[in-house]
Amino acid sequence: MSIFPWRQLSALGVLGINKRNADYISKYNPRHRYPLVDDKITSKAVAVRHGIPVPDLYGVIEIEHQIADLPALLHDKPSFVIKPARGCGGEGILIIDSRNTHEYICVNGYGYTVAGLSHHVSNILGGMYSLGGRPDMALIEYRVDFDSCFDGVSHRGVPDIRTLVFRGIPVMAMLRLPTRLSRGKANLHQGAVGVGIHMNHGTTRGGYWQGKPILHHPDTGNELSGITIPYWDDILCLNARCHDCTGMGFIGVDIVLDKNRGPLLLEVNARPGLSIQMANRTGLLPRIQFIESLANLPNSLQDRMMLAKSLA
Amino acid sequence: MSINLHIKLLTSLLVITGLVVLWYKVTYLGLPLVPTTRADVWTIEARMEFKAYREVPVKLDLRVPRDPEGFIVVDENFVSGNYGLNIDDTGQDRKIQWAVRNTSGYQVLYYRLHLAPDEISITDSSPGEVAVPDVKPDQFPEYMASAITTLVTEVRTKSADNISFAREMLKRLNSGSPDSNVELLHQDVNRDEAWIIRIAGLLNQGNVPARLVRTLTLKDGLNHKSLTPWLEVHDGTHWVAISPWTGETGLPRDSMIWSRGDHDILQLSGGKNSRLEFSVGKHSLDMTVVAEQRARKLNSRMMEFSLMRLPVQTQNIYRILLMIPVGALLIVLLRNVVGVKTFGTFMPILIALAFRETELLWGLILFTSLISLGLLFRFYLEYLKLLLVPRLASVLIIVIMLMLAISVISYKLGFERGLSLALFPMVIITMSIERMSLVWEELGSTEAIKQGIGTLAVAALGYLLMSSHYIGHLVFTFPELLLIILAATLLLGRYTGYRLTELWRFRMALTWFK
């Protein structure tokens, strides 16, 4: 093995940002399809049209004036999520778990008055969380009732399953677990735990947190490996279908597990992060290059699922 | 054709084009690669004085060199007062005519010429006729005729060609013990100039084209000098300067030919007591100015499109604008190869441009203090729950008030530097505050401070690069270097290797991954 770290990384098949951008994102993600994934209202509509299960949309706030209708829209909803339509990196998402007489209680324990919520929505509309600060819209949607399978390994927030889907084949997946540090968010750079998943049977292995390998959840102390993810086959199929409905070849698909409705598509990311490699302790390149070398990819969901399972 | 091959071809084309233009400008036009290169420039001043007659039109003609060999005319000025000025190009030299209808008394006029030595020889054919000039037999008094015939015949037998004929003739004429023929020729001549005209006449009698030239000695600090007469003989292809006293070829040391032929340098009508004096000074001038003149002399198209043809104000803007690609390349390197995180893509470059006004240390201090104070206000405004655009506007107003306060206070305290703050781009500061506060809230203070330091570090580096006189000179004098910068940027656009920071990010992979 070479003494140069970059040669070693390359030999291990680690995908770097420059290569991701130049060789995969710019090649497989057509520019004109970006609005489809960048705008959550559009992507939700597309997903619904293709029969992909998503959290229900309660309402969209498009202009400042509509903020006044917020209490009316929310009066019968004990829990809900407010998110920017074009946010990125999980920023600007507010998850309300419950309410008392005058406050909405956020998943991280903060209380929001109606005025507080209105201000947040107003920030979203002003473009505070959108790429380039463009004016945006706010979505209010169903707050997923999480499947209890991750209760022992998540600190409040939204545990989700991020899968990297290349040319319609899921190539690598990780479970993202919120921590106290991430304040309920599931983004690794915000402090969530990434846990690698075996592609063929959907069981977890060790985790990765703040640049270090870990075996136990930093807040709950429960073991991270050996959890079997329910509906694994359904999740793989759902991932593959996201490729079909977005037409993008290199995406990160976020899926949450609802207690009643099973796997739901949360969002599709056209610029998936690379920490998934650290969580799985495997480089992405061998898998991606293998898929890239295949002249004909299987068409049926079943065959694609089998191909995905054969990768690990 | 694969994309990578395409890019390689494109970048090589850009680099080759850039280098060829650069090479042409350096070798043929003599544009200097380093900003400190200066050329010695001779300033020659001809001072003419005379007494004008009352109520008579005055005309003064001065012969000046047209294209002095081995020199480039950098500039020339005329001090003409109320005189009308007219320049006549005779093909060999130029005649400047000052004219006025009515003047009187003591008059002084000046002609000033700035010459730079032309080290790069661009024409090997000397100016003037290339064909052998006709020899016009001079008129000599009759009593000299036999002496001249004898002399010419004797000299002819002892010579092989024009030059040796001239040398032999000069040896005879300057001999310490002249024979009677030579003494006769010397008789009615008392001035050097007249003597050289006579020599030229004698040579012409022998069918050797010869003429009087007037030279000027170029030596710093010369004053009240007149022109030195000299001799030129045609060797069949070229005019060759020969000392009329020793017969050696070449001009007097450190001198240039001012005019050729025996016509008067100064011609005056309508006045008397005309006098012509020369003074010579030497000073240094930016090479680029000289090169530009050389290009003009060469009729080079390249300099037609030079930035130096633009008005000075526009030039100054381009001096700054042309540094931006350099900064952009730095950003590309730092972001894609190193992996530094900054607020905004080109914001560090804009901050670096702002540092130009304040200099680095003060810039950093002022910028940091403004951002910190602005952030404090921003957090306070967050508590007020304002709409986004009004909040941004409020931050902008507060930033301007802070700048005002800093300027006024630093002026009171006697720090001149604080005043330059006014040129700081406040919109950039406002956006930085907004972005920083966002990152602060979303990703925590550590990340915000990390990115803030990253931005400042890139800005400081950018400033150091962009304030370099050397680089500034290079891109301004050779804008074709932008092609090379573009090529480098295009190549980096296809750089798919790891970023330096990724080596750190993925460092654990080296030990964990199978």
Are B349 and B473 members of one domain?
yes
All residues of chain A having their beta carbon less than 8 Å from the beta carbon of residue B493 are 22
Mean pLDDT over A284-300 rounds to: 92
pLDDT recorded at residue B391: 81
Q: How confident is the model at residue B129 (pLDDT cuts 50, 70, 90)?
A: very low
All residues of chain A having their beta carbon less than 8 Å from the beta carbon of residue B500 are none
All residues of chain B having their beta carbon less than 8 Å from the beta carbon of residue A215 are none
Q: Does the pLDDT value for residue A53 go beyond 90?
A: yes
How far away is chain B from the Cα of A44, in angstroms, using its nearest Cα?
25
Name the residue type at position B462.
G
CA-nearest residue to A120 within chain B is: B385
Q: Does the pLDDT value for residue A40 go beyond 50?
A: yes
pLDDT recorded at residue B360: 84
Tens-place pLDDT, residues B2-61: 888 999 999 999 999 999 999 988 887 777 787 766 777 888 888 888 888 888 888 888
- CB contacts under 8 A, A 207-246 vs B, are 211-213
* Beta carbons of A189 and B503 less than 8 Å apart: no
A73-77, A239-243, B424-428 — most confident range: A239-243
- Closest among A36, A18, A37 to A26, alpha carbons compared: A18
Whether B4 and chain A come into contact, CB under 8 Å, resolves to: no
Q: Does the pLDDT value for residue A12 go beyond 50?
A: yes
Residue B46 lies in a domain: no
Residue B89 lies in a domain: no
- Closest among B438, B383, B435 to A91, alpha carbons compared: B438
Q: Per the structure, how many domains does chain B have?
A: 2
Mean pLDDT over A250-260 rounds to: 93
Whether B383 and chain A come into contact, CB under 8 Å, resolves to: no
Residue B266: both structure tokens together: 């100064």
Are B265 and B372 members of one domain?
no
Are B320 and B279 members of one domain?
no
pLDDT recorded at residue A251: 95
Cβ contacts of B312 within 8 Å, gap of 6 or more = none
Please report, for residues B93, B347, B352, B424, the alpha-carbon distance to residue B366 in angstroms, rounded to integers and kept in the order given. 61, 16, 13, 9
Mean pLDDT over B477-496 rounds to: 92
Average pLDDT over chain A reads 89
Range of the domain at B147: 142-285
How far away is chain A from the Cα of B493, in angstroms, using its nearest Cα?
8
Whether A5 and chain B come into contact, CB under 8 Å, resolves to: yes
Please report, for residues A235, B224, B487, B491, the alpha-carbon distance to residue B9 in angstroms, rounded to integers and kept in the order given. 46, 63, 10, 11
Q: Which of B389, B442, B497 is the closest to A16 by Cβ?
A: B497
Average pLDDT over chain B reads 81
Are B270 and B369 members of one domain?
no
B18-32, B171-185, B455-469, range with the lowest pLDDT: B171-185
User: What is the helix (H) or strand (E) element at residue A244, kind and residue range?
Assistant: helix A232-246
pLDDT recorded at residue B338: 92
Contact A105, A96 (CB under 8 A): yes
Whether A11 and chain B come into contact, CB under 8 Å, resolves to: no
Q: Which of B388, B502, B508 is the closest to A17 by Cβ?
A: B502
* Among candidate residues B231, B263, B285, the one where a domain is terminated: B285
**Beta strand pairing status for B210-217 and B255-260?**
antiparallel
How many Cα atoms occupy the beta-carbon half-sphere of B213 within 13 Å? 29
Domains located in chain A, CATH noted? 5-51+147-311 (3.30.470.20), 57-142 (3.30.1490)
* Among candidate residues B268, B285, B302, the one where a domain is terminated: B285
Mean pLDDT over A41-62 rounds to: 92
**Beta strand pairing status for A57-61 and A104-106?**
unpaired
Contact B294, B29 (CB under 8 A): yes
Q: How confident is the model at residue A56 (pLDDT cuts 50, 70, 90)?
A: very high
Residue B118 lies in a domain: no
Q: What 8-state DSSP symbol labels residue A146?
A: B
- The C-alpha angle with vertex A132 and arms to A126 and A138, in degrees rounded to 5, equals 40
Contact B240, B167 (CB under 8 A): no
How far away is chain A from the Cα of B371, in angstroms, using its nearest Cα?
19
Are B178 and B249 members of one domain?
yes
Q: How confident is the model at residue A291 (pLDDT cuts 50, 70, 90)?
A: very high
* Beta carbons of B493 and A128 less than 8 Å apart: no
Mean pLDDT over B399-420 rounds to: 77
Q: Does the pLDDT value for residue B291 go beyond 80?
A: no
User: What is the helix (H) or strand (E) element at residue A129, kind and residue range?
Assistant: none
Which of the residues B335, B435, B498 would you substitute to probe the A interface, choosing the one with the greatest number of A C-beta atoms within 10 Å? Answer: B498
pLDDT recorded at residue B133: 63
Q: Does the pLDDT value for residue A164 go beyond 90?
A: yes
Which of the residues B388, B451, B500 would you substitute to probe the A interface, choosing the one with the greatest number of A C-beta atoms within 10 Å? Answer: B388
Which of the residues A18, A94, A119, A190 would you substitute to probe the B interface, choosing the one with the greatest number of B C-beta atoms within 10 Å? Answer: A18
- Give Cα A180 to chain centroid, integer Å: 18
A141-150, B84-93, B122-131, range with the lowest pLDDT: B122-131
Are B260 and B337 members of one domain?
no
Residue B416 lies in a domain: yes
Q: How confident is the model at residue B127 (pLDDT cuts 50, 70, 90)?
A: very low
Are B337 and B212 members of one domain?
no
Contact A46, A36 (CB under 8 A): yes
Residue B176 lies in a domain: yes
A212-226, B99-113, B137-151, B344-358, range with the lowest pLDDT: B137-151
Cβ-based burial of B257 (10 A; exposed 0-12, middle 13-18, buried ≥19) = buried
What residue has token string 């090379």?
A: B484
Q: Does the pLDDT value for residue B122 go beyond 50?
A: no
Are B224 and B319 members of one domain?
no
What residue has token string 């420039």?
A: B41
A272-276, B218-222, B469-473, range with the lowest pLDDT: B218-222
pLDDT recorded at residue A175: 94
The length of chain A is: 312
What residue has token string 């070479």?
A: A2
How far away is chain B from the Cα of A295, in angstroms, using its nearest Cα?
18
Q: Is the dihedral of CA B364, B366, B367, B370 positive or negative?
A: positive
Contact B279, B223 (CB under 8 A): yes
Q: Does the pLDDT value for residue B128 go beyond 60?
A: no
All residues of chain B having their beta carbon less than 8 Å from the beta carbon of residue A128 are 388, 438
Whether A9 and chain B come into contact, CB under 8 Å, resolves to: yes
Residue B185 lies in a domain: yes
Tens-place pLDDT, residues A114-155: 888 898 999 898 887 876 667 889 999 998 888 888 888 888
How far away is chain A from the Cα of B458, in angstroms, using its nearest Cα?
20
* Among candidate residues B247, B264, B285, the one where a domain is terminated: B285
Above pLDDT 90, what percent of chain A?
Answer: 45
Q: Which of B494, B495, B498 is the closest to A9 by Cβ?
A: B498
B80-89, B228-237, B378-387, B418-427, range with the lowest pLDDT: B418-427
Are B368 and B269 members of one domain?
no
Residue A106: both structure tokens together: 């956020």
Residue B37 lies in a domain: no
All residues of chain B having their beta carbon less than 8 Å from the beta carbon of residue A115 are 385
All residues of chain A having their beta carbon less than 8 Å from the beta carbon of residue B506 are 9, 14, 16, 277-278
Tens-place pLDDT, residues B132-145: 566 655 667 777 77
Whether A12 and chain B come into contact, CB under 8 Å, resolves to: yes
All residues of chain B having their beta carbon less than 8 Å from the beta carbon of residue A22 are 493-496
Give the A:B interface size as CB pairs under 8 Å.
Answer: 80
Which of the residues B506, B511, B512 would you substitute to probe the A interface, choosing the one with the greatest number of A C-beta atoms within 10 Å? Answer: B506
Beta-strand (E) ranges in chain A? 57-61, 80-84, 94-99, 104-106, 111-112, 138-142, 160-166, 169-177, 193-197, 204-209, 212-214, 250-258, 262-269
All residues of chain B having their beta carbon less than 8 Å from the beta carbon of residue A276 are none
pLDDT recorded at residue A153: 86
Q: Does the pLDDT value for residue A45 go beyond 70?
A: yes
pLDDT recorded at residue B379: 83
Are B254 and B331 members of one domain?
no
All residues of chain A having their beta carbon less than 8 Å from the beta carbon of residue B513 are 12, 14, 281-283
Residue B364 lies in a domain: yes
Which of the residues A3, A7, A8, A14 would you substitute to probe the B interface, choosing the one with the greatest number of B C-beta atoms within 10 Å? Answer: A14
Contact B344, B435 (CB under 8 A): yes
Q: Which of A5, A23, A211 is the closest to B496 by Cβ?
A: A23
Q: Does the pLDDT value for residue B120 go beyond 70?
A: no
pLDDT recorded at residue A250: 95
Are B196 and B333 members of one domain?
no
- CB contacts under 8 A, B 473-502 vs A, are 493-499, 502
What is the residue-wise DSSP string for B159-197? -SSHHHHHHHHHHHHH-SS--HHHHHHHTT--SHHHHHH
pLDDT recorded at residue A89: 66
Quote the CA–CA distance of A278 and A280 in Å, as a whole number.
5
* Beta carbons of B496 and A19 less than 8 Å apart: yes
Are B321 and B281 members of one domain?
no
- Closest among B281, B279, B269, B363 to B110, alpha carbons compared: B279
Quote the CA–CA distance of B250 and B252 in Å, as a whole number.
7
Q: Does the pLDDT value for residue B131 go beyond 60?
A: no
B337-349 in b/e form (b: 16+ CB < 10 A) is: bebbbbbeeebbb
Q: Does the pLDDT value for residue A83 go beyond 80?
A: yes
